[in-house]
Chain A
Amino acid sequence: MREKATTLYIGPQHPGITGNMMVKVKVEGDTIVKARTEVGYLHRAFEKLQESRNWLQSFTLLCRFCVPEPDPVEESYARAVELLEGREVPERAKYIRVLMLELARMGAYMLWFGGQNASLGLYTMGQWSVGDRNYILDLFEELTGGRIYHMYIWPGGVRRDLPEGFADKVLRTMDYLEKRLKDYDDLMFENTIFQKRTQGVGVISKEKAVEWGVVGPVLRGCGIKSDIRIDDPYEVYDKLDFIVPTHEGGDIWSRALVRRQEIRQSIRIIRQVIEKMPSGEYYNRIPNPFKWTLPKGDAYARTESVRGEVGMYIVSDGSTHPRRTHFRGAAYVHGITLLENILVGENVADVSAIMNSLGVCPPEIER
């Protein structure tokens, strides 16, 4: 005898979802039969607002696109403007930009640890990793003045130079965080409950991943090696020495392993950057911002963020204001079509774990 299907609204106010969106699921018993997402609770119309601000003022709106990790968006915008105008960036500024991007990557991965484990019931991990993330935010605060929104990477370089003694502080923080990785392993990855709840859940096969346009750690967790830092290198990534980890399997467990190993690679990159950083200029000055015009045309630049490909497309018609800017986030692809497809056949208790592992972040989807 088949049970009747019920509709559940895992709605905007829910402790288990990663942000302000709704997932409407139809369940029979415990199994999901159909899923629909509904977004639009955070729409601010950024791209329309940027048309009434000039090129430098619209840069202050950009950080709020992706709240846990604002630096890749600033980097994409800065590189797109530099491509369009043909502006050169000094070598020291490139190294400082890589330092900021890798620190932001580590901070966002630690926040992700907290979210993924809280969806399974392991709240201790959130307390540890969010507490350790505060050390990285201290570094940001000393360098840029703000914990979350930095507004530091702008077209032409970076906004100010590293203060004295900053490199030592960074290296000491890296030593501390490297020791903590062993504690995270003991608590999370060698935990039988975590393994049993994540292996075999939310599986994406290789063909499906390529067909549905998956990017980032989700694609690397399916066994395909694809990373913008090695495919289409930007800044100084082609001079640095790091590997891109992949895992077969395609379930939540392999994606968690990929993310854990990328933290280790980020620590390695940061140490190389501190060692190889040249001295020199940190900023190629832009002219008066109220009269700064860019030549006609368009440009597209992309960066590898914690979730995948983050791209910025700008169109200029020769005036001081942008004609059209468009932002493409990785959660746009993962959060709507892919999520609706994967949830069919899963247990309703795993919805939160799957959403966390795909990296669905609503501010990126509806901007």
Chain B
Amino acid sequence: MNDKNSQKIVDIIQNWARKHSIWVLAYGTGCGAIEIPPTMTSRYDAERLGVRGAATPRQADVLLISGYLTVKTIKRVIRVYEQMQDPKYVIGFGSCTINGGMYYDSYNTINVLDRYLPVDVYINGCMPRPEAVLSGFAQLQKRIAAGRATGAQHYKENLEWYRANQKKIIPNWVMPDYNW
């Protein structure tokens, strides 16, 4: 039963099940958290795609980084990301995660999220409309179905590179060097 074809069938069914039930962690890290309630309520209903909120990292599938990240927050976000269990994805929301946005010259916000956490899908805008959020989730679903949402795998394989970048901006590193 372990030949390549049956493995492919198992993958297809597994990805189909995963893409229709994406639970978002309830963590509003920045400005973008204000467009999430309209996306989840009746007009732009996101629950028809299977997207709903989850209360703790252990129960969540996707970490929605909504906006800019300060140095103090990214220390907590890394811990939360490593507490989430596989399969997990990261969505970068807003233009501040792409290249710094309008706070590019602030001494407290990071500019490119990709160097510190593996990102699967970016949604650009300032702020993105609820339709753009739904389109971002649909894009994530396509990537899951094609088997290409491998951010978590990339993080585990290149852990030293990510850790070196994280330690460069966080002065007081209190977390272990291994991945949870």
Contacts and interface: CB of A to CB of B under 8 A. Distances in A.
A25 B68 CA distance: 28
Interface in B65-80: 68, 70, 72-73, 76, 80
Contact of A49 (B34, B76, B80, B103): B103
A105 B30 CA distance: 22
A131 B29 contact: no
B27 A44 contact: no
B72 A40 contact: yes
Contacts of B33: 19, 67
A67 B41 contact: no
Contacts of A133: 38
Nearest to A45: B106
A43 B73 CA distance: 10
Interface string B93-107: 000000000110111
B70 A64 contact: no
B121 interface: no
B57 interface: yes
A278 B7 CA distance: 73
Contact of B103 (A44, A134, A149, A363): A44
Nearest to A40: B72
Contacts of A44: 68, 70, 103, 106, 108-109
A45 B38 CA distance: 28
A13 B106 contact: no
B28 A19 contact: yes
Contacts of A223: none
Given A12-B27, A147-B129, A149-B127, A52 B105 contact: yes
Interface string B37-75: 110011100000000010101000000000010101100
Nearest to B37: A130
Nearest to A49: B106
A86 B25 CA distance: 50
B159 interface: no
A131 B109 contact: no
Among the interface residues A41, A48, A114, A137, which one has the most CB atoms of the partner chain B within 10 A?
A41
Contacts of A111: 37
B26 interface: yes
Closest 9 CB pairs of A and B: A15-B26, A13-B27, A131-B42, A130-B41, A41-B73, A15-B55, A130-B37, A131-B41, A67-B34
